[in-house]
Amino acid sequence: MQAARINDGQLSIADVEVPTPEADHARVRITSAGVCHSDLHLARGEWHGVNVPSCGHEAIGIVEELGPGAERFTSVGDRVILGLGGTGGGYWCGACIHCLGGEPRLCPEGKGIMGTFAEQFCVYAKSLVTLPDSVGDHEAPLACGGLTAYGAVKKLFKHQINPGSTIGIIGAAGGLGHYAVQLAKNFGYNVVGVDLGEERLAFAKELGADQVMEPEEAAGLGRQGGADAVLIFAAAKPGFDLGIKMLRRGGLFVAVGIPPTDQGNIEISPWDFFRKGITMIYSVVGTVQDMRELVDLAADGKVRSHIGRTAPLSELPQVFDELASGAYVGRAIITDLAN
C-alpha cells in the first residue's frame, strides 16, 4: 500500500506493508485525510527534538479489520472519523488522575495518532466515532482542526467567558481558526476575526465574524477596553504577542497554535502580567465525547470544513508548499490515498 514517510526531514511516498491490528485496535481504509499545519512542521523538522517517521493524524475511513477486543467499540463496515488529533487518540489508560479528570491527552501512558497519510491505518478502536451519512468525507479535518477549535471554544465557558462577550480569534481564516469563528458565533459570542490580507478577512466575515481586522488594527483593541478572551490559532510567534496586546484587564488568553522552534519563546513582561492580571492557558484537541458533539454540530449544519485544496497522496509535498505560503484558505484534504 502507499503511505507518506519522513526520513531525515525529507517527505516521500513509499510502498509499505498493510498493517495488522493488535488488541483493541481496528484497521481502517482511509477515504479522506486532512492536512494539518502540524504535519507541515513535523515533515520539515521545524519542532526541534520532535522526530516522527510518518505524518497525518486526521482522517475518515471504513473499518475493515478488528483486533482482539475491538468489537466492543466498532464493527467492520463502520464509517468512522479517526479522532483526537496527533497528540491523542492512540491510547489512554482510563484510570490515572488525568483520564479520570477528563484530560486523557495528559495520560502518562497516552499515545497519539500519526500516519493517516496512508491507504490503511491501524488505530485504537476506543477513539473512533461513527459518522452519519450527512457528514461527508470532506469533513476529515474535523478530527483535529475542528476538534482543536471546539476544545478551545469550550474553554471559554470553563473560565466564565460567557456568550455575548467579545472574543478575538487570531488566524481566523486558517485551518483551525475558520472552525472557531463558526463555533463561537453559534455559541453566541461577539467575534473579532484577525488575519492578513483582504481575501482572508473577507472569508472570516463570510464565516460570521462580527468584525474583521488586520493585526495592526487589532493591537489597538487593548487600548480601547480590549477583548474578553483571545484564541491564538496562528502558528507564528507574532500571533501570540498580538493576543496579549488585544486583551482587556482580567482577560483570558487561550494558546492553540505552536510556532516553529526557531521563532523563539512567548515573551511577556512581568509588569504587563501584573498590570493586566490575565489568565493564560493552552488548549489541545479534545475528548471522544467532544468529537461526538462536534460531529452532531456538523450533521446539523452548524459547522463545516471549508476545503481550499484537494489532492491525491502523490501531491502531498506540493500541498505542504502551498500551506506554508498561505496559498489557500481553510483546509486541504487528500482524497486519493492510492495515487
Closest alpha carbon to 259 in 35, 34, 33, 46? 46
Q: Tell me the average pLDDT across 222-238.
A: 91
Give pLDDT, residue 196. 94
pLDDT of res. 97: 97
More confidently predicted of 257 and 5: 5
Tell me the pLDDT of the chain averaged across its residues: 93
Q: Is the predicted pLDDT of residue 327 greater than 80, yes or no? A: yes
Is it true that 2-144+285-336 and 147-282 share their CATH fold?
Answer: no
Q: Are 218 and 161 in contact (CB under 8 A)?
A: no
pLDDT in tens, 13-60: 999 999 999 999 999 999 999 999 888 888 887 887 777 888 899 999
Residue with cell 463555533: 183
- List, edge to edge, every strand of the sheet that includes 211-213: 211-213, 190-194, 166-170, 227-232, 247-255, 279-282
Domain spans of the chain, in order of start: 2-144+285-336, 147-282
Task: Work out the pLDDT band at 258, boundaries 50, 70, 90.
Answer: confident
User: Residue 289: how many CA atoms within 13 Å on its side-chain side?
Assistant: 5
Cell 512581568 belongs to which residue?
270
Residues above pLDDT 70, as percent of the chain:
100
**Rounded percentage of the chain residues whose pLDDT exceeds 90:** 75
Across residues 188-201, what is the average pLDDT? 96
Give pLDDT, residue 242.
94
CA–CA dist 6, 307 (Å, integer): 25
Please give the CATH superfamily to which domain 147-282 belongs.
NAD(P)-binding Rossmann-like Domain (3.40.50.720)
285 vs 186, residue with greater confidence:
186
2-144+285-336, CATH topology level: Quinone Oxidoreductase; Chain A, domain 1 (3.90.180)
HEC string of the chain equals CEEEEEECCEEEEEECCCCCCCCCEEEEEEEEEEECHHHHHHHCCCCCCCCCCCCCCCEEEEEEEECCCHHHCCCCCCEEEECCCCCCEEECCCCCHHHHCCCHHHCCCCEECCCCCECEEEEEHHHEEECCCCCCHHHHHHHCHHHHHHHHHHHHHHCCCCCCCEEEEECCCCCCHHHHHHHHHHCCCEEEEECCCHHHHHHHHHHCCCEEECHHHHHHHHHHCCEEEEEECCCCHHHHHHHHHHEEEEEEEEECCCCCHHHCCCCCCHHHHHHHCCEEEECCCCCHHHHHHHHHHHHCCCCCCCEEEEEEHHHHHHHHHHHHHCCCCCEEEEEECCC
pLDDT tens figures, 59-113: 999 999 999 999 999 999 999 999 787 678 899 999 999 999 988 989 999 998 9
Work out the pLDDT band at 328, boundaries 50, 70, 90: confident
- Is residue 139 a contact partner of residue 304, using CB atoms and an 8 Å limit? yes
Q: For residue 292, what pLDDT band results from cuts at 50, 70 and 90? A: very high
Q: What does the pLDDT read at residue 142?
A: 96
pLDDT digits (tens, 9 = 90+) for 135-193: 999 999 999 999 999 999 999 999 999 999 999 999 999 889 999 999 999 999 999 99
The residue among 235, 35, 54 whose CA lies nearest residue 140 is 35
Q: How far apart are CA 55 and CA 61, in angstroms?
A: 17
**pLDDT for 209 beyond 80:** yes
Q: Given pLDDT bands bounded at 50, 70 and 90, which one contains residue 213?
A: very high
| All cell numbers assigned to 194 | 484577525
pTM of this structure: 0.92
Nearest to 259 by CA among 239, 274, 245, 287: 239
Rounded CA separation 61/119 (Å): 9
Sign, CA dihedral 108-113-114-119, equals: positive
Mean pLDDT of 238-255: 94
Confidence of residue 269 (pLDDT cuts 50, 70, 90): confident
| N-term to C-term CA, the chain | 10
